[in-house]
Structure 1
Amino acid sequence: MPFNVKHIPEDLLKSIISKKAVAFCGAGLSMPIQRSNSKNLPNWPQLLLELIELAHRDRYNFSGLLPEIELAVKNGNLLAVAQELQEVLSKPSIAKYLRDIFLDKKLKPNQTHKILVQIPFIGILTTNYDTLIEGAYTLKRDGRIPVVLTQEDLDKVPNPLKLDDEFVFKMHGDINRPETIILGSHDYQNILFRSTAYRSFLETLFTINTVLFVGFSMSDPDVENLLERLSGIYSRNNDFHYLLVERGRLNEFEKKRLALDKRIFTIEYNNHDGTHSEVYDFLFHLNELTSLDGKYRREYESRFYTLPVSQTNVTRISAFISYSGHDKEYAVNIAELLSENGIHVWMDDFNVKVGDTVVSTIESGIKESDYFIVLLSNNSINSDWVKQEIELAYITNHERNKPKIIPIVFDSLIRNKIPKLLMDIRWLVVNESNIFQKIQRLIEQLKAS
C-alpha cells in the first residue's frame, strides 16, 4: 500500500517550502545498497562486527573478552565497542577497511537517494560513511559536486546554514579524509563536549530549522547522545522535528516521550514486504507537494487519497471535548449545542460504553476527531486525565494534521497556569455570562471552514 499523502504534516511542508528544513540521514537509507561481495551496506552494529572479525584475523584475541564484546554489540553498547576497536586496530587499518566498504565501485545511489536530493532541503546531515548522498547530488547537478563538510571545516565555515549552495554535513567524518573519521566514544566526547563550533552549529540548526530524520530507529547511541546533549535547547525551540519510522518500531510511550521531551514527532510508514518501499513513496510525495502551492497541493492529494465508499457521503465534522468532571455541566451544554448544529461530538459520558477499555477508547476518539476542544479551568489544569488528553491531541495534531486544538479558557483561570503545550495556540476566553454566545460563534466558524 503506498504512503498516505494525508499523513504528511503540514508544518513539515511549510518548513521545506520556506527554506527552513534539513534532512538528517542514518544507515537505514543506505542498507539496501549491495556491495561487490554481494553483502548489503552495514548498519553500525554490523560494521562493528565486521571490524571485530578484522581484528580477529589480525590475531588479536581481545584478552579473551571476544564473547563479551560481541554481546556488548548485541546489547547496543556500540560506542564502547567502537572505542575498543579503535584502540586495538591501527587508524590506517580502520581507514583502509572503511574505504574498501564505502568506496566500493559497485555502490550507486538508488531511487531513494535520488528523490531525497530533489526535495529543497537547505542541506543534509548524515552519520553515514558512504558517499551516496553526494553522488545523488552530483547526478542532479550534472556532475557538479555539492559542498561536503565535516566537523573539521567549521572553523572555516562556521555556519553552513548560510551557504548559498546545498551542503552535505558528514557527522562521522568524510571517508575521503581519514583524519576526520569519528568512531569511538572518545571521539564523540571530544566533538560534542569540547568543540564549541560544532555545538554552536548543531544548536543553531535545531533551534531555527525543522529536521526530518530518515533511516534512523532512534536507538542509534550516537544520535541519542547528540539529542541528549542538545536537550537544553528544546525548551526554547519553536520548531518541530520529524522522524520517519517503520510502523511498530516505537511503542506509544516512546513516541510520546520523543514528542514531549525532544519535539520530535513520528511519521509512520508500513513495511509489510520488508523492502521499506514506502520510504521512497513518502519522499516522492514530499518532493511533489513542496513544489506546489496550496490549491494544486489539494488537487494532488485527492489523486492519491480517496475515502472509502462507506465514507464518501459523510460530511459531518467531529469534535472531542476534554474537560474536568467539575465542569461537566458546561461540557454537556457545549456538546448539545455542537450536536444541534450538525457536529458529531465525542465525549466520555456519551462514547465510553460498559466494558470498553477507557484509555484506548479515548485515544481512538481523539485521533478520529477533526477538533479537540479542551475546557481550561482551575479544575481541569489539575486533572491528570485532561493533561493526558492534551498531550495526545498535541502529538496527533503534529503527526496527522488533526485534530485542530481549540482551548476554551475561563477568564478566572490564572494565565501562567495554562499548559505549556497550549501556549502557542490561540485561545477562546470565556466567562459564565458569554460562554454560549462565544461557542455559537465558534460553531459558525467551524462549519464555514
Structure 2
Amino acid sequence: MKQHIRAFVDDYLGELIEGSAAIFAGAGLSVPAGYVDWRELIRPLSEELGLNIQLENDLVALAQFHVNANGANRHKLHKAVIEAISADNPPTENHKLLAKLPIQTWWTTNYDRLIENSLRAVGKIVDVKSAVPQLATTRPRRDATIYKMHGDVDRPDEAVATRDDFERYPRDRGAFITALAGDLVSKTFLFLGFSFTDPNLEQVLTRVRLTFANNQRRHYAVFRMRTRLKGESVADFEHYKLRQALVIEDLRRFNVRVLTIDDYGEITEFLKELVDRYKRRTVFVAASSVDFGGWSKEVVDEFTQTLGKLLVAKGTRIASGLGAGIGDSLLSGALREVLSSNRTVDESLILRPFPQAMKGEDLTKLWEDYRQEILSHAGIAIFLFGTKDVDGEIQVAEGMFREFEIARNQGVAVIPVGGTGGAAESLAYKVLEDPNRIVPELGDDGGKIVDGLLQRPESPMELIEPLLRAVQILQGGKR
C-alpha cells in the first residue's frame, strides 16, 4: 500500500473511532455495479438533438437543450433516469465494505439505491433524505443518514439534471447546501467516484473556505491517475494529464487532499484495511476455567482483571460471553477502567452471557447463533484457559474450538494463549503447525509470538505484556 494512502488510513480510522467520518459518493462509485454514468445516461437525448456526446463537456447544458427542444417537457429525461437506474443492481464490494464501517453521514449526487441497500443488508436503519421536507424529520434509532442532494430514482420528476435545476437549486433545495456546509465543517469526508465538477458542491466548498479561512477541516478524495486512452493523441493525453494535476492542486484551496491511485482495485484494498483495523478495536475474549491452569484463583482473577482494565485503557472494546470462572473478573477489570475514564459501557463492552437454562438441540443452536453473532463484532479473538466441569471431571471446553473455527471463518485474527492450558494450549499447538496460514495477520513473527505465549510462566501476570503487544501489532495494521 502506498505511503500516502497508509497515512490516510491511519487518519480516517481515527475519524471513524470518533464518529466524525463521512462519505461523499459520486457516479464513479456506482458504475462498477452496472449503472451508467451521466454521459451514458443522456446519450440517447444527445443523439435525438443530433449532437455527438463524445464532443460534449457540459452535460448539464445538454440536458437543458433537450428540455428546451421539447417545449420544457421533461418526460424523456425522467424516462432516461428511470430506465438507466430503476433496477436494483447488487452493491459492489466497495459498497459492502463501506457499509461495515460506522459511518453515520453519507452524501451523494447519485439517484440509485446502492448505498441504502448495502447498509440495510448489514442490518442498519437508514434515513434517506432526497427532498427538502425530509430534512425536517428524523427517523428514530437510525444508524446512517443518506443525503441524496440531486434526488432519487423514485422521484425522477424532482431530479436535479438541467441548467435550470442547478440555477434554482439555492432557492428550491438550499437547505441541502446549508446541511452539507455544516457537515463539511464538523466531519472528515472521503470523496469516492466524484469529479468535482458539480456547481452546488463548489459553491458549498467555497462558502466553507471563505468562512473558516485557514481553519478548514481536512477532507480526502480519490483520483485515478490519467492514462492514455486508446486512439488518443499524445498531445491530448498530455493536456488532460496536466489538467488533472491542476485540479488536484486547486483542491488544496479547500483542504481536500487527493489520494492518487493507478488502479481502482486500490480503493478496495484500503477499504478492506479500514474495515479490518476498525473491527480489530473489538477483541473477543474466549475464556472459561474450573482449574485455573494450576494457578490459584486469586492469581488468575488478578490476571484477568488486569487484562480487562488494560485492554479498555488502550481504547479497545471487549466482547465476551462471560465464561465460567473467568468472565466476572474480566468484566470487573474492564468496568473499573470504564468508570474511571470518559468512556461509556457501550463503547467499551459487548456482553453476551451464554444462557444455561435450556437443554438439548435448542441450547446447542442458541449457543451457535450466539457465537456467530458476537464474533461478527470482533476483529481479534483471544483464547484463554478453556476447561469445564463435567460431572465432577475436568475436561477441555469444546466450545472454544468452535469459537476458534468461527473466528477464522469470519476473518477474525486469533491469539491463543497456550500458557494458560486447556483448549487454549491445544489451539496454540494447532497454530504452530502452520502459522503463516492460520495467523497471517501477525506477520512473519506469528509463529514466534504464539510460541512465546505457549510457554507457561510462574504467574499468568507474565503473559500480560506479550499478549498486549500481539494485540497492538494487529491493531496497528501490521502485515
Show the counterpart of 1:381. none
2:109–2:148 Cα contact (<8 Å) kept: yes
Shift of 1:188: 1.5
For residues 139 and 7 of structure 2, the distance between their equivalents in structure 1, rounded to whole angstroms, comes to 28
Distance of aligned partners of 1:251 and 1:93 in 2 relative to their CA distance in 1, 3 Å threshold: closer
Map 1:10-409 → 2, pairs under 5 A: 10-34=10-34, 41-53=35-47, 70=51, 74-89=55-70, 90-105=73-88, 107-141=89-123, 146-154=126-134, 156-157=136-137, 164-192=142-170, 195-219=173-197, 223-228=201-206, 230-235=208-213, 237-248=215-226, 254=246, 257-271=249-263, 276-293=264-281, 299-300=473-474
Aligned to 1:384: none
TM-score by length of 1: 0.54
Q: Whole-Å Cα distance in 2 between the matches of residues 205 and 261 of structure 1?
A: 18
Check the 8 A contact 1:3/1:269 in 2, yes or no. Answer: no
Post-superposition CA distance 1:326-367 (Å, at most 9, x none): xxxxxxxxxxxxxxxxxxxxxxxxxxxxxxxxxxxxxxxxxx
Distance change in 2, residues 1:119/1:131 (3 Å): same
Change (3 A) 1:170 1:147: same
Q: By how many angstroms is 1:115 displaced?
A: 0.9
Superposed CA offset, 1:91-116 (max 9, x none):
233222211110125x2112111111
User: Which residue in the other structure is 1:362 paired with?
Assistant: none
Q: Distance in 2 between matches of 1:74 and 1:175?
A: 27
Structure ranking higher on relative contact order (CA contacts 8 Å, 6+ apart): 1
C-alpha distance in 1, partners of 2:214/2:179? 16
Q: 1:169 to 1:188 in 2, by over 3 A?
A: same
Runs of 4+ in 1 over 6 A off after TM superposition: 1-5, 160-163, 249-252, 294-297
Amino acid in structure 2 at the alignment position of 1:132: L
Alignment TM-score, normalising by the size of structure 2:
0.51
**% identical equivalent positions:** 24
Supply the RMSD in Å over aligned alpha carbons: 3.4
Structure 1 residue 182, shift from structure 2 partner: 0.8
Asked whether the 8 Å contact 2:63–2:77 carries over to 1, the reply is no
- Following superposition, the deviation at residue 173 of structure 1 comes to 0.1
Q: What amino acid sits opposite 2:276 in the alignment? A: E
Residue 150 of structure 1: CA displacement?
1.5
Q: What's the CA shift for 1:15?
A: 1.5
Taking a change above 3 Å as real, the CA distance of residues 218 and 16 of structure 1, as seen in their structure-2 partners, is: same
The CA distance in 1 between the partners of 2:202 and 2:28, in whole Å, is: 16
- What is the CA-CA distance between 1:220 and the residue it aligns to? 5.0
Letter of the 2:93 counterpart: Q
Q: Structure 2: which amino acid aligns with 1:270?
A: D
Q: Name the amino acid aligned to 1:74.
A: L
Q: 1:75 to 1:94 in 2, by over 3 A?
A: closer
Shift of 1:26: 0.6
What secondary structure sits across from 1:24 in the alignment? strand
Distance in 2 of aligned mates of 1:102 and 1:214: 19
Give the structure with the larger helix fraction.
Answer: 2
Stretches of structure 1 that go unaligned for 5 or more consecutive residues are 35-40, 57-69, 306-449
User: Residue 10 of structure 1: SS of its match in structure 2?
Assistant: helix
What is the rounded CA distance, in whole Å, between the counterparts of 1:53 and 1:47 in structure 2?
Answer: 12
